[in-house]
Amino acid sequence: MSYQPVKSLLGVAIATVVAGGAQAQHLQLEEVVVTAQKRVESLQDVPISVSAISGQKMEDASITNLESLTTYIPNFSMNQGTIANNITIRGVSSGVNPGFEQSTGMYVDGIYYGRSQLSRLPLFDMERVEVLRGPQPILFGKNSIAGAVNMTTASPGEEFEGQISALYEFEEEQQDYRAVFSGPLTDTLSGRIAMLYRDQEGSFTNFNSSHNEKQEEETVIRGSLRWMPTDLLTMDLKYEHAEFDDVGRNVELAQSIVREDLAGTGAGVDYVTALNNFVGLVNNTLMLEPPVDFAGEDGELNRVRGSNGDYHNNTADVLVLDIDYAFGEYTLTSTTGYLEYDFEQNCDCDFTGASILNAGQDESFEQFSQELRITSPGNETVDYIAGVFYQTNELDFRDSINVPDNSLLRLLNPNFRNISSRRFAQQESDMWAVFAQATWNVSDRLRLVFGARYTEEDKEATKQQVHYGGNTAFPATDPTGTLPNVYFGLNPLFGAFAVEPYDTIRSDRQEEAFTPLFTVQYDLGEDAMVYATYTEGFKAGGFDIRSNGHPDPSVVNACNLDTSTNPPACADDIVGVFDFDEEEAESIEVGAKVGLGGVAELNMAAFYTEYTNLQTSQFDGILGFNVTNAGKAEIQGLELDGRWLVAEGLTLSGAVAWLDFEYTDFKNNQCYFGQQVLEPGSVQPDGVTCDATGKRKEYTPEYSGTLSADYVISFGNNLELRTVLDLVFSDDYLFTPTLDPRNKQDAYTKWNLRVALSDVAGNWELAFIGKNLSDEDVVTFGGDAPLAGALTGGTGTAYYQFLDRPRTFALQALYRF
């Protein structure tokens, strides 16, 4: 699609606001308040590219998690994958490896949520969510090299209030029930309790199941207390328990193809055809027992799939104690947090309806953090925030590749049934940091901001890979390679899948980083300011948990054995990854925030960032993932957002982003299927990796944005009708880290509509909500189908693709008291 009409419309709107602002002086936009700099400030005073979404907007738009929030924030996305999740800001993300912390720091009530699994937590009863783009190395310093998501839940109030709401969505049969009660318990103590229950059936048909997918069920309860024994002391205690489970997935096989140089020659076969023929051969010719139960794949992107037992179960508990103590004009703040979660999943990771293999995974995580900071009084010659931060965590990770008893892989070897390869990993981390940020108010108009953070982190980890027959573990080859692990023929088979058994390996890392920030901010007038910022970001290195091979090439425990030699030698060794290095960034941002007569605001930010050693996760083409540091990348772009109170009851708002991403040095990217044919010059001497220098990363649309119109009219004696229309658009983008040009999401435009009837006092409300009214099919994640190359002899493949939700319609009822 062309974005020229959008750009023209934006230009006309800006010109109209400038010309007409003086005619509506009696109108006034409501101020947006944020805590992006650990102070309560107007959004228009903060020299950062920030998008803020209020809790009310999230409730109105039925935003229940970060993934649905991304619709309203350009240059920001959250994508759920097969084994992990990914938050992306300005094209920068961490990839899908459980060893990663996110490049975008996620903070809830001041507590760092670094694990990707926590990005799936349900969101409700929020005060606001702020998305800070670009490196945030000082006040949100824990690995926030791409940006930060700062979330604040609602706190107890001094007056009794409550709210009950219910929503029913017709397409996916979603039910959403919420209740909030808040108010004083004594003269000095207030409390709040918030509860959520949500479930839905999903929009995918699974021909191996009687239910649609993916089914979701979420239960969250949050209790909070606020104690104010004096005017000088405030203590907030919050506890949250969340359970959020899925059955099935919103993924299917699509784009089943033959390699381009073989198309029409009869020498190649696509994956779906090969799979269907293979299953037919197994059932009709070999008469295996038990037979392979398989209805066949169609290879079309049509929300029809086959799967066997996908599920995803999560439990999380969070406890936060926040203490503010005022002494003189200064404030001392203590934020203590304890967080733990457990999750387990089963992934039918061949993504077909046939019984081939599945992947199990479970993870336990505990984290404790403590931050102390002092905040000076505002409006002084020098204002500052300084503090110390400590965090410790433990991760226990287990996963397995399982071949069930009725797997069709029995055709390859009758022993390939009821076997598995299991991985066990543990990681511990301790880090501390000291930070400070000071604003020198040079004059009434000029401010200079200086900030710095020094961080030290110690990590240690262990990992082990073990092959099993049933529940019997078989030892790995010893480090000398003199005892090949060939029990029951398991080794050659798992070796063909590039899975190598090995005894426990250990490693540790010690890293330190100094990250500075410098900002110049100048007021052009009472309602306009400009700023320029230079900053450096840092993201610690770590350990690859998902790699399927030993990192030492001299340790050869599993491969295709060359039996012509005595003792047998490995013809094709497997080399994995364990350690990966830290990631660094340097960024320059210039921007302006302009108020126009109190009725409009326009904010602009232009940025240029250089990243080195980007941490990326590369699928090995079979069953595993290897972490690699991606050399260098340059990112530049422009972000615009604004609001305009056109008339009483009518507000227009919008945000538009332009993004340019280029790998300037990335010679070790994983090759995509057929790249040796389509781009032979990019293939590296190892024949496995390809040069991606000069290419764009996945999830980097050139243009993206949202436009919204909010119109409220009163009628009758006590009624109000509010209509909100949202337009969401994106340019095309790739959605796989291999940068396969076949895996491109086309440009799209979505429309969302909410029409609500309420009383003027806002005590009750009935609303109709329509999302994705244009019914766009948007792929949010994807990759190569495992085993496709093996089954087609390398001549064909197919891709698994995750789809966003289709067009949906919902009714919502709300009562406040």
Q: Please, what's the b/e burial string for 629-647 (b: 16 or more CB within 10 A of its CB; e: otherwise)?
A: bbbbbebbbebbbbbbbbe
**CA-to-CA distance for 168 and 177, rounded, in angstroms?**
9
In the predicted model, what is the mean pLDDT of residues 374-394?
95
* Per-residue model confidence as pLDDT tens digits over 421-449: 899 999 999 999 999 999 999 999 999 99
Q: What is the pLDDT of residue 210?
A: 80
Q: Specify the range with the lowest mean pLDDT, choosing from 9-18, 208-217, 341-350.
A: 9-18
- Say which residue, 100 or 168, is predicted with more confidence: 168
In the predicted model, what is the mean pLDDT of residues 209-217?
89
Local confidence band at 5 (pLDDT 50, 70, 90 cut-offs):
very low
CA angle 364, 309, 176 (to 5 degrees): 75
In the predicted model, what is the mean pLDDT of residues 494-508?
81
Residue 500: phi and psi, rounded to 5, are -115, 125
- Say which residue, 160 or 412, is predicted with more confidence: 160
User: In degrees to the nearest 10, what's the CA dihedral of 91, 339, 312, 463?
Assistant: 80
Percent of the chain with pLDDT over 70: 89
- Which residues have C-beta within 8 Å of that of residue 217, sequence separation ≥ 6? 198, 199, 243, 244, 245, 246
In the predicted model, what is the mean pLDDT of residues 773-780?
95
- Other CB atoms within 10 Å distance of the CB of residue 524: 12
In the predicted model, what is the mean pLDDT of residues 470-486?
54
In the predicted model, what is the mean pLDDT of residues 521-547?
93
| pLDDT at residue 492 tops 60 | no
**CA-to-CA distance for 120 and 251, rounded, in angstroms?**
17
In the predicted model, what is the mean pLDDT of residues 397-408?
87
Q: State the DSSP code for 118.
A: G
* Per-residue model confidence as pLDDT tens digits over 145-171: 999 999 999 999 999 999 999 999 999
| pLDDT at residue 18 tops 50 | no
| pLDDT at residue 790 tops 90 | no
- Which residues have C-beta within 8 Å of that of residue 292, sequence separation ≥ 6? 279, 282, 283, 354, 355, 406, 408
Type and span of the H or E element at 278: helix 271-281
DSSP string covering 556-625:
--SSEEETTSSS-EEEE------EE--EEEEEEEEEEEEEETTTEEEEEEEEEEEEES-EEEEE-SSS-E
Is-contact 191 156, C-beta < 8 A? yes
In the predicted model, what is the mean pLDDT of residues 653-662?
96
DSSP string covering 489-504:
GHHHHHHHTT---EEE
* H helical segments located in 3-61: 4-20, 55-60
DSSP string covering 10-22:
HHHHHHHHHHHGG
Q: What is the pLDDT of residue 800?
A: 92
Q: Specify the range with the lowest mean pLDDT, choosing from 168-182, 211-225, 397-411, 755-769.
A: 397-411
In the predicted model, what is the mean pLDDT of residues 108-122?
91
Is-contact 528 494, C-beta < 8 A? no
CATH 3.40.50.150 is the classification of domain 4-157+164-816: no
Give the count of alpha carbons within 13 A of 751, CB side only.
6
- Which residues have C-beta within 8 Å of that of residue 55, sequence separation ≥ 6? 125, 126, 127, 128, 154
**CA-to-CA distance for 808 and 71, rounded, in angstroms?**
15
Q: Please, what's the b/e burial string for 70-91 (b: 16 or more CB within 10 A of its CB; e: otherwise)?
A: bbbbbbbbbbbbbbbbbbbbbb
Give the count of alpha carbons within 13 A of 775, CB side only.
6
**CA-to-CA distance for 533 and 479, rounded, in angstroms?**
52
| pLDDT at residue 8 tops 50 | no
**CA-to-CA distance for 351 and 248, rounded, in angstroms?**
11
CA 296 vs CA 237, 277, 350, 580: distances in Å: 54, 9, 13, 41
Three-state secondary-structure class, residue 73 = coil
Q: What is the pLDDT of residue 479?
A: 39
| pLDDT at residue 100 tops 90 | no
**CA-to-CA distance for 782 and 285, rounded, in angstroms?**
34
Q: What is the pLDDT of residue 649?
A: 93
Percent of the chain with pLDDT over 90: 61
Type and span of the H or E element at 792: helix 788-792
In the predicted model, what is the mean pLDDT of residues 123-151?
93
Local confidence band at 572 (pLDDT 50, 70, 90 cut-offs):
low
* Per-residue model confidence as pLDDT tens digits over 718-752: 999 999 999 999 999 999 889 999 999 999 999 99
- Other CB atoms within 10 Å distance of the CB of residue 620: 21
- Other CB atoms within 10 Å distance of the CB of residue 272: 25
Local confidence band at 244 (pLDDT 50, 70, 90 cut-offs):
very high
- Say which residue, 811 or 10, is predicted with more confidence: 811
Q: What is the pLDDT of residue 531?
A: 98
| pLDDT at residue 564 tops 70 | no
681: left (phi over 0), alpha (psi -120 to 50) or beta: alpha
pLDDT averaged over every residue in the chain: 87
* Per-residue model confidence as pLDDT tens digits over 265-291: 989 999 999 888 877 776 666 666 666
CA 138 vs CA 37, 105, 148, 329, 536: distances in Å: 9, 12, 11, 23, 10
With CA atoms as reference, report the closest residue to 73 among 90, 85, 96.
90
| pLDDT at residue 95 tops 80 | no
| pLDDT at residue 612 tops 90 | yes
Burial class (CB in 10 A: 0-12, 13-18, 19+), 470: exposed
User: Which tokens hold the place of 127?
Assistant: 């005060």
Q: What residue segments make up the domains of the chain, in order of their start? A: 4-157+164-816
CA 214 vs CA 201, 350, 361: distances in Å: 6, 17, 18
With CA atoms as reference, report the closest residue to 269 among 797, 622, 800.
797
| pLDDT at residue 2 tops 50 | no
